[in-house]
């Protein structure tokens, strides 16, 4: 014999659920893009800073084994990401290729000095830190000079700060907009069930019992929408890295993992919170008020 009553008065999957999932997915996609751009911008700023280098010009009195030993000591310092030794002969060859002529032929000697090109860790890529590093390096009497572009470093750091500030403000604004959009979508879905909610109240159902199917339904919508949004974001990131493999240093697996987790967390929290607030609104209403909203 068929049961006269359905166990679930709020269907999980219907046309309304599908449209809500699509709407929520588009908003979560926007949120995911925000997180993606913020994290990628952070990696990009780190990449740019770590490609800022300075040159250490070494005296001719310092033998090559001693230079290599000095380079080894430099590499052990926390501010050094990596270094490259350029010998006098290599420097001459590079400049000859760049100028199209050999300076040694008409000068009679090699005018260039050996040097070490140092790339800094991102936390030390600023003028104040480099000035301290310069003082430390110059304690070695065989170091002629430390060359770096102070104006370029200051300009890069200023631009990175400005871009980061704009991205954070944009992220906050779009997060609020996203919350409002999802909230409106869920409120409309629950609005159509307001008389059902009132009927359940009349038969003595508790508020917790009434809330449960609505909350579960919207959480599932958030999960499905988040998975769909993550799939689109992952596909887009894979296409970018496949098109330009060097982007893997900016669009790292960690970035995409954080983006995917953030979208899923946003999807669950926002849909739960919006559904909870909306259902409570109708639970508090009297029957006469339901006809005037």
Among 106, 123, 147, where does a domain finish? 147
- Is the pLDDT at 193 greater than 70? The verdict is yes
Quick check: is 4 in a domain? Answer: no
pLDDT value for 227: 94
Same structural domain, 194 and 106: no
What pLDDT score does 223 carry?
92
Q: Are residues 78 and 115 in the same domain?
A: yes
Q: Is 50 exceeded by the pLDDT of residue 6?
A: no
What percentage of the chain exceeds 90 in pLDDT?
10
pLDDT grade for 38, boundaries at 50, 70 and 90: confident
- Domain end call among 120, 147, 174: 147
Tokens (6 digits) for 244: 């330009």
Say if residue 186 is in the same domain as residue 269.
Answer: yes
Q: Are residues 164 and 34 in the same domain?
A: yes
Q: For residue 90, what are the domain limits? A: 53-147
Tens-place pLDDT, residues 47-103: 888 887 888 888 888 888 888 888 898 888 888 888 888 888 888 787 777 777 777
**Confidence at residue 291, expressed as pLDDT on a 0 to 100 scale:** 60
Quote the CA–CA distance of 240 and 234 in Å, as a whole number. 10
Domain of residue 100, CATH code: 3.30.70.3040
Question: Do 167 and 34 belong together in one domain?
Answer: yes
Task: Say if residue 97 is in the same domain as residue 189.
Answer: no
Q: What is the largest CA-CA distance in the chain?
A: 108
Looking at the structure, tell me whether residues 234 and 285 fall in a common domain.
yes
Whole-angstrom Cα distance, residue 60 to residue 219?
Answer: 71
pLDDT per residue as tens digits for the range 132-185: 888 888 888 888 888 887 787 888 778 888 888 888 888 788 878 877 888 887
Encoded tokens for 77: 């310092």
Residue 36 is assigned to a structural domain of this protein:
yes
More confident residue, 27 or 192: 27
Instruction: Look at residues 118, 147, 176 and tell me which one is the last residue of a structural domain.
Output: 147
């Amino acid at each position: 014999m068929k049961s006269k009553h359905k166990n679930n008065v709020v269907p999980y999957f219907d046309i309304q659920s599908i449209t809500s999932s699509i709407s929520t997915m588009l908003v979560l996609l926007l949120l995911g893009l925000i997180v993606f751009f913020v994290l990628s911008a952070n990696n990009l700023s780190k990449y740019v800073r770590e490609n800022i280098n300075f040159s250490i010009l070494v005296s001719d009195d310092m033998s090559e084994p001693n230079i290599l030993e000095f380079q080894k000591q430099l590499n052990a310092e926390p501010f050094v990401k990596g270094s490259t030794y350029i010998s006098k002969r290599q420097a001459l060859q590079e400049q000859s290729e760049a100028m199209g002529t050999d300076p040694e032929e008409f000068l009679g000697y090699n005018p260039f000095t050996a040097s070490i090109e140092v790339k800094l860790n991102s936390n030390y890529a600023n003028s104040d830190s480099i000035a301290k590093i310069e003082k430390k390096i110059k304690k070695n009497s065989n170091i002629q000079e430390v060359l770096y572009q102070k104006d370029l470093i200051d300009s890069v750091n200023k631009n990175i700060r400005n871009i980061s500030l704009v991205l954070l403000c944009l992220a906050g604004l779009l997060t609020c907009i996203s919350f409002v959009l999802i909230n409106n979508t869920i409120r409309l879905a629950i609005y159509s069930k307001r008389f059902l909610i009132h009927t359940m109240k009349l038969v003595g159902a508790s508020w917790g019992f009434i809330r449960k199917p609505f909350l579960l339904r919207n959480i599932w919508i958030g999960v499905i929408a988040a998975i769909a949004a993550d799939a689109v974001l992952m596909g887009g990131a894979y296409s970018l890295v496949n098109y330009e493999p060097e982007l893997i240093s900016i669009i790292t697996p960690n970035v995409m993992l954080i983006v995917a987790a953030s979208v899923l967390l946003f999807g669950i929290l926002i849909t739960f919170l919006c559904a909870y607030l909306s259902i409570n609104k109708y639970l508090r209403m009297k029957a006469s008020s339901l006809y005037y909203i």
